[in-house]
A and B are shown apart, each in its own frame.
Chain A
Amino acid sequence: MTAAPWTEPDGSVHGGRADVGHGAGGAAPKGIVVAYGFWIFLISDVVMFSSFFAAYAVLFKNTAGGPAARELFDLRNTAAETALLLASSFSCGLSSLAVRERSLKWTQLSLLVTGLLGVGFLLLEAREFAGLVARGAGPTRSAFLSSFFTLVGCHGAHVTAGVLWLGTMMAQFWAKGFRADICRRFLCFALFWHALDIIWVAIFSLVYLVGTLPPELLP
């Protein structure tokens, strides 16, 4: 079936059908349903993160006489983490293309690069956390630091889970090839990995960059 171009009431033309998105034509294919369900999960995950962001924003000034964000955060480290995660998001996008082209070599290569960049990010974050704890700025020091470690640590835990999932995907592609169900799992993994980078954008902007602004410039 070739879809005829369809003109919307507002004059825009698209290649789909008139009844798109309205349940006509029966149930959607499995790939659509699976990815949509995972999309709903990701959005609920973002909602959970937003409550951690809210806690951090509310508790930001409650340092209990301890060190504040400006004295603790090293923006060079944050920039390196950001670069690693952005590069891994890009190479994850490349692996999506490799899977679509059914190229096992490029899929495994780009997934390997994605995973190594993710591990590099985790190492930098672990080093940062260890440094903070060694300076007496651990999560028990103040409400500000509790909320900081909860928010950023939760993101780190997600990246750890993502790296494990990535390894599983590489093994499954290697052992079972581009089977339909494996490709659906991979689509979900790619969504997960890109969503983690979106959350990191909020973290590096609002936690690190806004957090290290001079106090008189903060809202």
Chain B
Amino acid sequence: MSDLERPKGASLEGDRAPGQHETPSLRGELAGTLWGLLLAIGLTAASFWAVRTPLIYGPGLAVALLVLAVAQMGVHLVFFLHITTSPDNTNNVLALAFGILIVCVLVFGSLWVMGHLNHSMAVPDNGSPMQP
């Protein structure tokens, strides 16, 4: 496309919308989507397998599941939502990073504060007045 055909300022090489495809070829896109599906299936299967197998150290299971979940979310972001680290994705990644920060503050902050609160109340686990 020449510069004349495009309205001034409408740069296609500039920012990229989230979800917008990167490679122009259909074959490449199809392969990317298939890779995403395969990786997601693999990680899902690994999660469901992890809770059945005796091979994983028990107390580490919850962390293993968390790691697998985060990995699968990353796979979905890259292969289905087409969020990458390329410069034309800067705005999308910055918004996402801020969202992740807020999510972490909310979840871990709540667990931390409520854990301390429960601890300070010093009530026994069975039939405690803390239980609604």
Taking Cβ atoms with an 8 Å cutoff, the residues of A that contact B are 1, 3, 8, 14-17, 20-21, 25-29, 31-32, 34-36, 38-40, 43-44, 46-47, 50-51, 53-55, 57-58, 61-65, 75, 79, 82-83, 86, 89-90, 92-94, 96-97, 100-101, 142-143, 187, 190-191, 194-195, 197-198, 201-202, 204-206, 209-210, 212-214, 216-219
B66 pairs with A46, CB closer than 8 A: no
Q: Is the CB of B29 within 8 A of A97?
A: yes
CB–CB A35/B20 < 8 A? yes
List the B residue with the shortest CB-CB distance to A216: B58
8 Å CB contact of A209 from B48, B86, B132: B48
Q: Does A50 lie within 8 Å of B14, measured CB to CB?
A: no
Q: Is the CB of B81 within 8 A of A14?
A: no
The number of chain B residues touching the other chain, given as a range, is 35 or more
Q: Is the CB of B99 within 8 A of A46?
A: yes
Residues of B within 8 A of A (CB): 1-3, 6, 8-21, 26, 29-30, 33, 36-37, 40-41, 44, 47-48, 50-51, 58-59, 61-63, 65-66, 68-69, 72-73, 76-77, 79-81, 86-88, 90-92, 95-96, 98-99, 102-103, 106-107, 109-111, 114, 125, 127, 130-132
A64 to B11, CA, bound (A): 59
B35 to chain A, nearest CB (A): 11
Chain A residues with Cβ under 8 A from B109's Cβ? 54
Residues of B within 8 A of A206 (CB): 65-66, 69
User: With A39-B18, A50-B106, A187-B19 known to touch, is A3 a contact of B13 (CB < 8 Å)?
Assistant: yes
